[in-house]
């Protein structure tokens, strides 16, 4: 299915966080709360990796709040327009895999402006770190990777195929509602035919982590001028949206193409009830994003404040 939920946003933060809350079934009011608290949640996540001191927390919080304010005031309308386009198109009937790919790439492209905004703050924070904090972050990555290997990469091939199938089914059911048994068999068949890509995806993940750690150490030790450090960080973050060059890219591209094909095949077989579910879900996300615009959020806050004063 198309992926407006942008599952991969530390940085693909704002749209991904908002839509992730929606997927969990929370109402729009909860999404607004989650979005408003995102700087605090992101700070908590960074603190878990780095054990920030008071000065570092101040730096991180200032930049996160600035990024959120920019995002709220400049990016929401674009996301709404994109989802409206997707909703209109899927209501017309079957969609080819190529169009799913275009949607997926459109979502990835929207990471670029966020990377530009996140980079200066990330670079400034990196310049304040101690060697021990970077070592702590490395250990945190290793713990996360062990969990990923367990969940995504079972040693047994059949278990790995089953885990792959479950991921595709879960993503599809987010948008279509429960799949039929025949649809699940279709997903299982297509997932089994596709080339295994978990190892390639994992290699890309580890490579990005290692590059980030090396970049943070370079900024920490060399103390370059802020524009230079921000440029290094921006170049690093902008690569997050695309598979990196090298041997593993072939497998990663194949996996993404398989996802597009599965989305197109399932939509072609969608029942009227599933199509209605998809239409409602996309409209929910559109309404959700509209509620995050500054003017709407201000009105919600005012209404809540007034209601609190009522006897």
pTM reported for the whole predicted model: 0.79
Does 68 fall in a domain? yes
Contact yes or no for 254/201 (Cβ under 8 A) = no
According to the model, what pLDDT value does residue 14 have? 32
Does 67 fall in a domain? yes
Compute the distance between CA of residue 144 and CA of residue 139 in angstroms, rounded to an integer: 9
Does 263 fall in a domain? no
Does 182 fall in a domain? no
pLDDT digits over 46-86, tens only? 889 999 999 999 999 999 899 989 998 999 999 999 999 99
Question: Structurally, how many domains does the chain consist of?
Answer: 1
Residue carrying structure tokens 């309404």? 287
Does 165 fall in a domain? no
Whether residue 109 is predicted with pLDDT greater than 70 in this model: the reply is yes
Does 35 fall in a domain? yes
Q: What mean pLDDT do residues 186-195 have? A: 84
Does 51 fall in a domain? yes
pLDDT digits over 262-287, tens only? 999 999 999 999 999 999 999 998 99
According to the model, what pLDDT value does residue 10 have? 30
- Tokens describing residue 232: 């290094």
Angle, alpha carbons 57-109-220 (nearest 5°): 35
Whether residue 311 is predicted with pLDDT greater than 50 in this model: the reply is no
In this prediction, residue 242 has a pLDDT band, given cuts at 50, 70 and 90, of confident
According to the model, what pLDDT value does residue 294 have? 79
Does 212 fall in a domain? yes
Say how far residue 17 (Cα) sits from the centre of its chain: 7
Q: What mean pLDDT do residues 27-41 have? A: 57
Structural domain range at position 115 = 13-153+200-242+271-309
């Amino acid at each position: 299915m198309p992926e407006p939920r942008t599952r991969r946003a530390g940085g693909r933060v704002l749209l991904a966080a908002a839509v992730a809350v929606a997927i969990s079934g929370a109402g729009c009011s909860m999404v607004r709360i989650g979005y408003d608290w995102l700087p605090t949640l992101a700070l908590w996540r960074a603190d878990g990796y780095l054990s920030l001191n008071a000065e570092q927390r101040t730096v991180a919080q200032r930049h996160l709040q600035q990024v959120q304010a920019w995002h709220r005031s400049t990016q929401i309308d674009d996301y709404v327009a994109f989802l409206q386009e997707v909703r209109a198109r899927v209501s017309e009937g079957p969609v080819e895999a190529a169009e799913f790919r275009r949607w997926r790439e459109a979502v990835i492209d929207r990471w670029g402006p966020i990377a530009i905004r996140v980079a200066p703050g990330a670079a400034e924070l990196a310049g304040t770190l101690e060697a021990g904090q970077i070592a702590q972050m490395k250990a945190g990555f290793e713990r996360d990777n062990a969990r990923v290997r367990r969940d995504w990469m079972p040693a047994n091939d059949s278990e790995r195929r089953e885990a792959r199938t479950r991921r595709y089914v879960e993503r599809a059911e987010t948008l279509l509602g429960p799949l039929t048994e025949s649809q699940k068999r279709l997903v299982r068949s297509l997932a089994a035919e596709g080339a295994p890509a978990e190892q390639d995806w994992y290699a890309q993940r580890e490579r990005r982590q290692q590059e980030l750690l090396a970049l943070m150490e370079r900024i920490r030790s060399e103390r370059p001028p802020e524009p230079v450090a921000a440029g290094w960080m921006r170049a690093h973050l902008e690569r997050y949206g695309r598979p990196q060059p090298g041997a593993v890219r072939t497998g990663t591209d194949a996996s993404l193409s398989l996802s597009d094909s599965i989305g197109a095949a399932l939509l072609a077989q969608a029942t009227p009830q599933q199509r209605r579910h998809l239409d409602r879900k996309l409209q929910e996300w559109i309404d959700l994003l509209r509620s995050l615009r500054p003017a709407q959020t201000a009105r919600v806050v005012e209404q809540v404040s007034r209601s609190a004063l009522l006897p």
